[in-house]
Amino acid sequence: KAGVTQTPRYLIKTRGQQVTLSCSPISGHRSVSWYQQTPGQGLQFLFEYFSETQRNKGNFPGRFSGRQFSNSRSEMNVSTLELGDSALYLCASSWDRRTYEQYFGPGTRLTVT
């Protein structure tokens, strides 16, 4: 069974630009969640998509958005990048984030200069 894949693995962007990250969940999983991991703030929940609908959202500004496609693949977009957006962005898939374990991808390391 293939695991969660994320592309790209590394990304360098400039302040003010926008970025789109992609996540392919485990086959059959309808829940995809995104997390930001930084040394200072740790692992923070960005949002969860379930069957193409955003079900939950963490405490992040509107610059962070996402979507999920009918095949459960998900994309996350960050607009008007700030230096503080530099982080490891993790995607996780699950049968249901609320009650089942999540399987994490390797992450996308975003560096904003």
Exactly one of 22, 65, 67, 104 binds other proteins (CB under 8 A); that residue is 104
* Contacts of other proteins in 35-54 (CB under 8 A): 35, 42-45, 48
Alpha-carbon distance of 18 to 1, in angstroms, equals 33
Alpha-carbon distance of 84 to 100, in angstroms, equals 31
> What is the pairing mode between strands 87-94 and 31-38?
antiparallel
* Contacts of other proteins in 77-96 (CB under 8 A): 88, 90, 92
**Which amino acid is present at 36?**
Q
Binding of residue 15 to other proteins (CB under 8 A)? no
Contact region for other proteins (CB under 8 A) — 18-26, 61-69, 71-79, 99-107?
99-107
How many residues are recorded in the chain?
Answer: 113
Alpha-carbon distance of 39 to 113, in angstroms, equals 17
Binding of residue 100 to other proteins (CB under 8 A)? yes
Report the SS3 class of residue 95. Answer: coil
How many chain residues interact with other proteins (CB under 8 A)?
A: 23
Binding of residue 33 to other proteins (CB under 8 A)? yes
Residues that bind other proteins (CB under 8 A): 33, 35, 42-45, 48, 56, 58, 88, 90, 92, 97-107
